Each structure stands twice: as C-alpha cells, then as structure tokens.
Structure 1
Amino acid sequence: MRLGVIDIGSNTVHLLVVDAHHGAAPIPATKHKMVLRLAEHVDAEGAIDESGAADLARFVHECLGIAEDQGVEEILAFATSAIREAPNGDAVLERVRSETGVDLQVLQGTDEARLTFLAARRWVGWSAGRLLVIDIGGGSLELTLGDDEEPDVAKSLLLGAGRVTQDHLPGDPPSAEDIRAARRTVRASLAREIRPYAKAATPDSVVGTSKTVRSLARIAGAAPSGEGPYVLRTLHVDDVRETIARVAAMTAAQRAGLAGVSAARARQILAGGIIAEASMDLLGVQELSICPWAMREGVLLRYLDLMG
C-alpha cells in the first residue's frame, strides 16, 4: 500500500511517500519538503505568527495534491516540538484542519523518542544488542536506550540545534563568549538528565539520527547520500570537536559551502556540533554509526504494526 507521512518539524516540513507493507521495509517513492523554520516564526511569548501559520497550512495543502498524484491511500500527519511548545499550537492545528482537512497529531517528546528508537532498532536489528540512540532535531534532543523495540529510557530535551542557535548563538558568526556560554548551557542541561543512562548497562551499539548528525558526519568525510543508505557512515567525537573549531568563526554563507551543509541549516550546524559533542562526551560515546531511519520511518512502522 502507498502511504504518505507529513512531518511538521521545527526546521522543515516533509512529505515522505512510501510503498509499505507489514513485515517489509518501507520503500521511498518520492519526497517533498519546505524549509519553514517554524521555530523562528514566533513572537515574544513563543506563539507562532500569522506568516508561519499561513505557510504551514499552504504547504500541507500542497502535500495533499502531491500525495493524490502519487496514489497515496492513507496520510499520517504529525507535528513535533515547534507546535508542541507554542502557546497557540492548538489554534494553528485548527487552522490547518479547517483549511486543508488534515488533522495533525502532536507527538509528545517521549513519543517522538520512542518512535525514533523503533526505527533505529528495526534498521540495525537485534544483533546490535543494547542500543543507544542520539537524535538531534531542530527543537529538541531525543536520547533513548534499550534492549528491545521499546526503549528502557527515553528522554526528550529542549536542546535542538535550531533552538540553541536562536536562544544562545546570535551573530554571524557568534562571538567566542556566546559559544562558550552555549556550550555551558547545553552541558549543564544535559548533565541534569544523564543519571538514568549512567546507571544503565553500557550500550553495545550507538547510532545517531537526523539531518544534523548526518551533516556532521559528512563534514568529517562520511560518504555522501548519493551512495545510498547501506554504506557504513560513522562519526567520532574527535571529528565533532574538529568541526566545532572549524565552523565557529565561519559565517552561515561560508558554512553552506561545506560538504553536507545546506544553506537552510548552515546557521545551526555549530549548535548541532555543540549538542553532539556534549551528548557523546557525557554519555561516554567515542563513536557512533549513522542511521538513515528516524521518526518518520518510526511512524510508518508503528502504523503497519497496528494494521497487521
């Protein structure tokens, strides 16, 4: 059956169309995305502004047309941190519903973490043993750990690359003082939540998901996406440190010239590096593998499980 997933993130809005069947890996048919950066379309109280809400409704409507052209039978639509944290999130959801007929489901942070873990577990398989997943989004950081398809520990922290950039890294490039302050804030926030992971058994495998982690790996020399999803790609914590030092003094325009860094995410790659380094360091991770599946695939897999 052909399914469509509309994913409303803090940076981008994605439509993923796949051919999916219970017991089989979803096969991508087409993708469509819009760089919306909802996290930047907020007022002083954190509410999503008129422009952001209008663009969101317009893009969802656009997605419906593409899905129809692609023969999609069912659309799964969900929103994450940007809508979840906005005080007028319900009003934005109602606007999208009234203008498009699409009922966006808001995933809570722990649900986001668990679905990403499910996708990563299915990708790496049971031979990976006890699995730790680090997922750096635009608005939040998800950390999950477990032996099964359901994690034993799942946390969602307000430490996304876009959020840290917006809140702590002004300037293009930001000052050395702001970078140090951002690093302190990220590490202190993460250290407050680290105890359940420290108490648990050491993971047998560690994977990273999300565009931010993939970009950091690409800067460090990992294979480009054009070589396909089955190529082994890794990221060492020392590579992350080198990338932080390299991009800290660059403008966003200069960062966009790096391999794997789009203009839309160029400002956020420094914050992404700071978050990745802190997560790996405080969790005792020297190296992780890149997992191409994340939350969108988790949503699809959970749906297929329920339908099966």
Structure 2
Amino acid sequence: MHEQDQTVAGGTLESPETAADNVYAAIDLGTNNCRMLIARPQRGGGERGFSQPEQFRVVDSYSRITRLGEGLAGSGLLSRSAMDRTVEALKRCVDKMQRRGVTHARNVATEACRRAANCDHFLERVRAEVGLELEIISADEEARLALAGCSALLEEDRPRALVFDIGGGSTELLWVRLCDKGIDQVEGFASLPLGVVTVSEDCGGGDLTRRLYEAVAEHVANLLGPFEAAHDIGAAIARGEVQMLGTSGTVTTLGGIALDLPRYNRFKVDGLRLDFKTVFEISHKLSLMSHASRAAIPCIGRQRADLVLAGCAILEAICTVWPVGSLRIADRGVREGLLLELMDRDRSRAEGETA
C-alpha cells in the first residue's frame, strides 16, 4: 500500500540510523472526528499483536469533533462551515507537530473525503492554509490499519475474531483468523455505508424514537446478512471459536458509561470487556432519554448526544446477528496502526543498512 512520509514545518527528516531520535505523528481525519497521536519508539513489551520489537510512547495527542461530513449524505458535498472547522483543527495538529519536532508523519482521511464531490477543493485548502498533505485511503486500508492498531487486544484462546469499527460515515467489519506471532490473517472484509453521522442525519436528528431506533437496528442487521452468509460466522460462534473486538466512539462511550466514570478515561476503557446484556441495557436506557439527558452524561456530552443513539443501533444489530456474548473495547485503531507501520518500516531500513 502507498505510504506518504513527509517532513513537517519545524522538523527534519532523519536517516534510519537516528531512528531512536525520531518523532512520529499520525492524523486520522474521519467523518466526525479529527484525531492525532505523536509518539516516540520504545523497545520492549511483547504484547500480542505488536510484531514489531518497538512499541511507542505517546508524547502528545489531539482529538476534536469537527463533523466534516455534516450534511454530506444529503448534498454529496463538504459544507463550508465543516471545512472551516476541520481546517482549524488541522492547524492545531500542525502546531503540536512543530512543537514536538515531528520527523515522520502520515496523515490520512477516510469516508467523508472518499464520498465528497468537492474533496479536491478541501484538500487544496488544507494544503494552502495548513501546509499539510492529506492522503485519502480506501475503506479496506482503513480497516487494515485499525486492526494493526488494536490487534494487541485480541486473545489467543479463540482462533477467530470479528473486529468492527463504527465510524461517522461507515462501519467496517473484519473476519480474522489469529495466526502465530501476532500476524493475523484477514479472511473477510465489508464496509457498510452507515455510520453515526449518516444514520442520524438520515433519521432527521439524534432524538430517535424507540420505534425508529429499532427500525435502524433491523435495517443494519439485514445489511449484515451477506457477510454472515459468506463466512458462516454463526457456526464458528456456536463452536466457541469467536471473540469480538470493537473500536469506535460508540463502544468506548458505552464502556465509560458502564464504569460510571465521572470523566472519560481512556486507560480504564481500553481493553475493557462488556457483556451483551450490559450493551443492550445501556443502549435501551439511552434510547428512552431526551437529548438533554444524554448530553448530561459525562462520557457523552453535548457534542455526541445527537449521535450516540445511531451508534447504539448499529452496535445492537452487530451483537444480535453475531451473539458472541461479550465484546472487548479498543480505544485505539487507525492512528496506532499508522504509527506502528511507520516505525516498523524505519526499523527494517536500519536493520537492512547495518546487515
């Protein structure tokens, strides 16, 4: 797959021999969020899924809800206000990259940019106003990077995994066979054109009635049918071979609510296991609340109160079609996958030059 490795203002591209001094950044620009991690390589660990001998230590991060895909489902275009918000967020990312002396970066955009007819105009604005090159990646590469970033949370006692990512504009599914040394084989992939933003907008807003909520869940379940038929996941579940791993704002939000956190805490949620009974109970409770009541929940807040129900409906469909019984939550994904691949590439280069 094509990788875009670039210098940024304030940083110099260093040779592989100085890899220990390198600072890496990854930006994941989605339909709803702009997220960035800045990290340094760190040796040791040996977590499952990190085939690289180098893991990383995060030195800075950034996350902002920009709603780049707001209105996209109806118009097919990125709105001026959405682009303005996103450009400002990307400026903050570049400021942090400069201050941290980033030497290597890969900056990707996903579903909103894949779908927007005026995406070229947006990319030019980012290039001119921010000084940043964004790379639009395909849905399958997005899913592959998410798996690379979160596969350390997969457990070796079950040979199969259903991994999903409920995004703002789409939902990705991966059917994975666990192999030796943490190198997993993807045996099936699907991308549904439904995410928390698109579903919410299609339904006229976030305050879904219970009837409409159930209709969305049923519709998503029907869309999952061909993936089930192609891979016979239900039979593997019946044999006790399947684990489920979810990476998205929906599952992390439910994790925070399940723990009754007064403020969202990534370190408490990442890796948490939720049984389906808890998932259904929280989702049902949220679907009966008013917008204001959901916004008052610390792990939801005002900016996500109109989106969380759509995510819960998609999640409920996934859990209903594939009754694994529990899922593990990953507060990691594309950004981590990008960082690991950048670091691994430089390590391989350095080893090749010293061999």
Q: Distance in 1 between matches of 2:81 and 2:27?
A: 20
Rg comparison, structure with higher value: 2
Q: Distance in 1 between matches of 2:95 and 2:310?
A: 35
Query: TM-score w.r.t. structure 2 length?
Result: 0.78
2:39 pairs, out of 8, 15, 18, with 18
Q: What does residue 109 of structure 1 align with?
A: 139
Instruction: Classify the secondary structure of the residue corresponding to 1:110.
Output: helix
Pair 1:90-2:129 in alignment: no
| Identical columns (%) | 28
How far apart are residue 227 of structure 1 and its match?
7.5
Aligned residue identity for 1:219 = I
2:160 pairs, out of 130, 133, 139, with 130
Pair 1:72-2:115 in alignment: no
1:167 pairs, out of 202, 214, 223, with 202
Q: Distance in 2 between matches of 1:247 and 1:44?
A: 26
Q: Distance in 2 between matches of 1:305 and 1:152?
A: 24
Q: Distance in 2 between matches of 1:20 and 1:81?
A: 29
Q: Distance in 2 between matches of 1:145 and 1:192?
A: 13
Q: Distance in 2 between matches of 1:281 and 1:111?
A: 27
Q: What does residue 189 of structure 1 align with?
A: 223
Pair 1:155-2:190 in alignment: yes
Q: What does residue 256 of structure 2 align with?
A: 218
How far apart are residue 100 of structure 1 and its match?
2.4
Instruction: Classify the secondary structure of the residue corresponding to 1:151.
Output: strand
Instruction: Decide whether aligned partners of structure 1 residues 225 and 172 sit closer, same or farther in structure 2, where only a CA change above 3 A counts.
Output: closer
Q: What does residue 9 of structure 1 align with?
A: 30
CA contact (8 A) 1:117 1:150 kept: no
Q: Which has the higher contact order (CA 8 A, sep 6+)?
A: 2
Range that drifts further, 5-14 or 225-234: 225-234
How far apart are residue 126 of structure 1 and its match?
5.0
Instruction: Decide whether aligned partners of structure 1 residues 74 and 127 sit closer, same or farther in structure 2, where only a CA change above 3 A counts.
Output: farther
Q: What does residue 254 of structure 1 align with?
A: 293
CA displacement 1:191-244 (0-9 Å, x = unmatched): 233223325844442211122101112222377754725875112222222122
Instruction: Classify the secondary structure of the residue corresponding to 1:25.
Output: strand
Q: Distance in 2 between matches of 1:232 and 1:49?
A: 36
Q: What does residue 49 of structure 1 align with?
A: 79
Range that drifts further, 174-183 or 229-238: 229-238
Q: Distance in 2 between matches of 1:65 and 1:172?
A: 34
Pair 1:29-2:67 in alignment: no
Pair 1:269-2:308 in alignment: yes
Q: What does residue 321 of structure 2 align with?
A: 282
Q: What does residue 208 of structure 1 align with?
A: 246
Q: Which blocks of at least 5 consecutive residues in structure 2 are unaligned?
A: 1-21, 43-51, 349-355
Q: What does residue 343 of structure 2 align with?
A: 304
Instruction: Decide whether aligned partners of structure 1 residues 71 and 140 sit closer, same or farther in structure 2, where only a CA change above 3 A counts.
Output: same
Query: TM-score w.r.t. structure 1 length?
Result: 0.89
Instruction: Decide whether aligned partners of structure 1 residues 96 and 121 sit closer, same or farther in structure 2, where only a CA change above 3 A counts.
Output: same
Instruction: Decide whether aligned partners of structure 1 residues 151 and 261 sit closer, same or farther in structure 2, where only a CA change above 3 A counts.
Output: same
Instruction: Decide whether aligned partners of structure 1 residues 24 and 42 sit closer, same or farther in structure 2, where only a CA change above 3 A counts.
Output: same
Q: Give the number of equivalent residue pairs.
A: 307
Q: Distance in 1 between matches of 2:294 and 2:197?
A: 15
Q: Distance in 2 between matches of 1:50 and 1:230?
A: 35
Instruction: Decide whether aligned partners of structure 1 residues 118 and 149 sit closer, same or farther in structure 2, where only a CA change above 3 A counts.
Output: farther
CA contact (8 A) 1:120 1:133 kept: no
How far apart are residue 109 of structure 1 and its match?
0.8
How far apart are residue 133 of structure 1 and its match?
1.1
